[in-house]
Structure 1
Amino acid sequence: MLRQSATEFVVATPGQGLHDCTAAVARWVADTGIETGLLTLLLRHTSASLLVQENAAPAAARDIERYFARIAPESGAYEHDDEGPDDMPAHLRAALTATSLSIPVMGGRMALGTWQGIYVFEHRHAPHRRRIAAHLIGDDA
């Protein structure tokens, strides 16, 4: 029987970087009892993003962070700097990544690969409480 469930996650980010939220999402998916379906996640912000990324080698996260610092530097002469020098670069980095993800659910679990995790990619220096809207639609066992 087709069912759906929705919730919101809050991820406290201490500042810039990749922050793993896989475990919290996985627990919620399992608790819904939905065996087969589609999970949609939407980060409700414009200066952070969502990524499915390598979860085993910390160097991968550091390389990603350095790459985005190069392509959207804080030293740029941006017109939009209402909230400081990291404001517009954060928007650019979010525009180049994603604020939503769609992940299949199979066997009651997200169909992520062995080395994949879900991350909030915080683009601002200050700590934030980032909100992720989650919706899962699918069938029971």
Structure 2
Amino acid sequence: MRQATTLLRIDTRRRGLLDVTPDVLRWVAAQGMTTGLLTVFCRHTSASLVIQENAAPAVRRDMEAYFDRLAPESGTYEHDDEGPDDMPAHLRTALTGVQLSIPVIDGAPALGTWQGIYLFEHRTSPHRRSLALHLSGE
């Protein structure tokens, strides 16, 4: 069994879902493993990861709007060290999660036809995010 790791740097421009699937697929393919398990880990507390619909942009817009309602900036929060979007970002991350485990079959992550891997940026301003990728397999 082999293992490979890397840090994938992602620059975000705003709050919302950013498709990182092409970057992840490229890296997995370059490892030359046909079977294994891919872990994608977001190294932040105000951004998260989701596997979601990759064909209809309305799905992403609806998800973003839902989380805006669920954890609004207008809420009364004790923690606001970095501004009004700080605590809502932490809540959204807690609800969605920071890790994905995806089987690798025939050299590629076994995503469904309409699935993509998204970094969900929960802050309003641009950020440089880091995803740790770990692939274990043969």
Aligned partner of 1:6 in structure 2 is 5
* Structure 1 outlier segments of 4+, above 3 Å: none
Show CA shifts across 1:98-117 (max 9, x none): 10000000000000000000
Once residues 17 and 123 of structure 2 are traced to their aligned partners in structure 1, the CA distance between those partners, rounded to angstroms, is 11
Shift of 1:70: 0.6
Amino acid across the alignment from 2:76: A
Once residues 33 and 92 of structure 2 are traced to their aligned partners in structure 1, the CA distance between those partners, rounded to angstroms, is 34
Aligned partner of 1:91 in structure 2 is 90
Show CA shifts across 1:39-95 (max 9, x none): 001100000100100000000000000000111010001000000000000000000
The alignment partner of 2:58 has SS state of: helix
Shift of 1:123: 0.3
- The total of aligned residue pairs comes to 138
1:48-87 equivalent positions in 2, closer than 5 A: 48-87=47-86
Aligned partner of 2:119 in structure 1 is 120
TM-score (norm 1): 0.97
Amino acid across the alignment from 2:107: G
Once residues 12 and 57 of structure 1 are traced to their aligned partners in structure 2, the CA distance between those partners, rounded to angstroms, is 23
Aligned partner of 1:102 in structure 2 is 101
Aligned partner of 2:17 in structure 1 is 18
Aligned partner of 1:47 in structure 2 is 46
TM-score (norm 2): 0.99
Amino acid across the alignment from 2:137: G
Once residues 110 and 45 of structure 1 are traced to their aligned partners in structure 2, the CA distance between those partners, rounded to angstroms, is 23
Once residues 44 and 69 of structure 2 are traced to their aligned partners in structure 1, the CA distance between those partners, rounded to angstroms, is 22
The alignment partner of 2:3 has SS state of: strand
Gaps of 5+ in 2: none
The alignment partner of 1:80 has SS state of: coil
The alignment partner of 2:124 has SS state of: coil
Gaps of 5+ in 1: none
Once residues 132 and 66 of structure 1 are traced to their aligned partners in structure 2, the CA distance between those partners, rounded to angstroms, is 24
Amino acid across the alignment from 1:16: R
Give identity over the alignment, percent: 65
